[in-house]
Amino acid sequence: MQINAIAPDLFDVTPGGPRLIGARRKADGKIVFPAPRGAEAAHYDRIALSDRGTLWSFTVQRFRPKSPPYAGADDERTFKPYALGYIELPGEVIVESRIEIDDFSKLRIGMPMRLALKPFAKAGGEEAETYVFEPELRA
């Protein structure tokens, strides 16, 4: 499936769902995200990271970030606060991610999270897919 990703080499869409693309350093096995690019990439093997983890830390972004580097199509008037946090992927790495949740008060350190993709409206009208984590609902 062809998608317009927010940036190259961040994630793949697999039959089992989206997976972040990380890399394992050949010298010592350290896992990193995102995967290095350019000449540094030769020292790493690309790997698919876990699509599940736990919330390690978070905050709520209540004002629009400065442009650049923020590439959103919103402005000061239309900006909506969002959660931003670190998700620990067990035995792999801790990744920074936007957290998709309607009620920020429900966020708890250690809660189970799962990877998802979400449309992101970029300045200039282009839409791209970005990765987010969201609370994993237990059956």
* Residue boundaries of the structural domains of the chain: 11-135
Pairing of strands 44-48, 17-25: antiparallel
pLDDT tens, residue by residue, 115-137: 999 988 766 777 888 999 999 97
Nearest CA among 91, 134, 84 for reference residue 111: 134
The upper half-sphere exposure of residue 6, i.e. CA atoms within 13 Å in the direction of its Cβ, equals 18
> What's residue 74's pLDDT?
75
At residue 1, does pLDDT exceed 60?
A: no
User: Cis peptide leading into 112, omega within 30 of 0?
Assistant: no
pLDDT band at 65 (very low <50, low <70, confident <90, very high): confident
**Dist CA 22 CA 37 (whole Å):** 11
Q: What share of the chain has pLDDT > 90, as a percent?
A: 66
Q: Name the more confident of 9 and 52.
A: 52
pLDDT tens, residue by residue, 43-52: 999 999 999 9
> What's residue 122's pLDDT?
67
**Dist CA 39 CA 122 (whole Å):** 29
Instruction: Fill in the DSSP letter of residue 79.
Output: -
pTM (predicted TM-score): 0.87
C-alpha distances in Å from residue 4, one per residue of 15, 77, 80, 113, 128: 18, 27, 23, 24, 5
The answer to whether the beta carbons of residues 97 and 84 sit under 8 Å apart is: yes
**Dist CA 3 CA 125 (whole Å):** 16
Q: How many residues in the chain?
A: 139
Mean pLDDT of 104-119: 96
Nearest CA among 25, 27, 1 for reference residue 12: 1
